[in-house]
Amino acid sequence: MSTDRKPAVALGIDLGTSGVRAALLSDDGNLIDIAACPFPNPAAARLPSTWWSGVKSCLAELASRNAFASLEGVAVDGTSGTVVAIDARGMPVGEAMMYNDPCPDRTIVERIDTEAPPDSPARGATSALARAIHLSRRPGVQAIVHQADWILMNLGLASATSDENNALKTGYDLTAERWPDWLEACGMDIALLPAVKRAGSPLSTITAGGLALGLPPECRYFAGTTDGCASFLATGASTVGDGVTALGSTLVVKLACARPINAANFGIYSHRILDFWLAGGASNAGGAVIRKFFDDDQLKSMTPKLQPDVSTGLAYYPLATAGERFPVNDPTYPPRLSPRPADDVTFFQAILEGITTIEKSGYDRLAELGGPKLLSVRTVGGGAANPAWTRMRENTLAVPFLSARSAEASVGTASLVLAGKDRWP
């Protein structure tokens, strides 16, 4: 956190899976302050009222320590694919459907599979479009919006407006920059969907609703992004060839590209953000597999004993259960975690080696499909703190490993304001 207390210029709000976080940046991109409000429990995390309560709590905390008078813009990110049905007053009609909720009506999913283009990210069992269609059938629904869109409306934005990143899985056409006609054939009334702008686009000046929350009259609303895209931006990655690996419960690989890469058969799709495309995918391998076998104390004691420059040769493909999404998209893909050596340290190292191999395969797959050569890697997530694993990955990927500027998605969202504030007409 900055200690020279430069004026706060950009406010980024992150609606994550576990809570709300908000960051203030100065005009040179340095973090001034950050506030957090965890969700009380998983059930509450599904309620739009909980999201909004968290946002208000973070704003009040930041305002208690900082002046908002110099703020030039606010942007919001949300979990990708979380959608909300609202009535004529902008109030939620029932609970939201979250990013990982399957559509309860299988016929909707089947209709999308029939009508949507083969590489559309709107396809699949957890399709955001399917959730949107399902919600649109509730009585009294006047609009379907994404999580970030609804928060912007509560901050005072006059009309429902989304960004390309949140709209992508709902079927938005990035090439034509509009909602495509085939959505109607799937059962989605396009008139219920929000307007869509590019991420970081200025939308309007602050309204009375924003003023009531303490935002200054000169401040503007900006189109936000998804939490995943925001996390990429937060690291400082921005040049074609920059990669970001998230080592959390799952392994997520993202690469800045000069053009989009969409290959549903490999679990790959692309977002457009700023002046590059962000392509990547998520494997089912990751920290969740490690946690299946070892607790925190065991991991802490074993890590110093790892030998990252000496391979075990076990060639694992560490999955908790059958099924993989990326770089192979196969719901029956089998785990490979045998033979298991008697020594737990060797077993742990073999799992890390296997995840590392998948990471390299992910970047290689993107290059095979027309992406750029990997030039650098930044790492976020709990696995980034393991020095032996980092050494393994450096040996395998053979590119510079750069420090992430920040691991906070709210910082990445605030950086969209900095990138877009000079585009105001």
Per-residue pLDDT at 5 exceeds 80 = no
pLDDT grade for 420, boundaries at 50, 70 and 90: confident
Q: How much is the pLDDT for 425?
A: 58
Per-residue pLDDT at 299 exceeds 60 = yes
Strand partners, 378: 244, 402
Q: In this structure, which amino acid lies at residue 20?
A: V
A 10 A CB-CB count for 192 gives: 18
Q: How much is the pLDDT for 392?
A: 97
Q: Provide the CA 349 distance to its chain's centre, in angstroms.
A: 29
Q: Where are the alpha helices (DSSP H) in 187-327?
A: 208-212, 227-234, 287-293, 296-302
Give the model confidence (pLDDT) of 212-264 as tens digits: 999 999 999 999 999 999 999 999 999 999 999 999 888 999 999 999 998 88
Q: How much is the pLDDT for 2?
A: 46
What backbone torsions phi and psi does residue 25 show, to the nearest 5 degrees? -115, 150
Q: Provide the CA 222 distance to its chain's centre, in angstroms.
A: 18
Q: Is 246 helix (H, G, I), strand (E, B) or coil?
A: strand
- For residue 221, the number of C-alpha atoms closer than 13 Å in the C-beta half-sphere is 29
In the chain, what percentage of residues exceed pLDDT 70?
Answer: 99
Q: Where are the alpha helices (DSSP H) in 304-397?
A: 344-368, 387-397
pTM attached to this predicted model: 0.91
Per-residue pLDDT at 1 exceeds 60 = no
State the Cα–Cα distance between residues 357 and 196, nearest whole angstrom: 38
**Structure tokens belonging to residue 355:** 């995840």
Give the model confidence (pLDDT) of 169-211 as tens digits: 999 999 999 999 999 999 999 999 999 999 999 999 999 999 9
Contacts of residue 249, Cβ cutoff 8 Å, sequence gap at least 6: 286, 287, 288, 291
State the Cα–Cα distance between residues 7 and 68, nearest whole angstrom: 8
Assess contact for 66 and 2: CB atoms under 8 A: no
The CA dihedral of 203, 76, 261, 29, to the nearest 10 degrees, is: 90
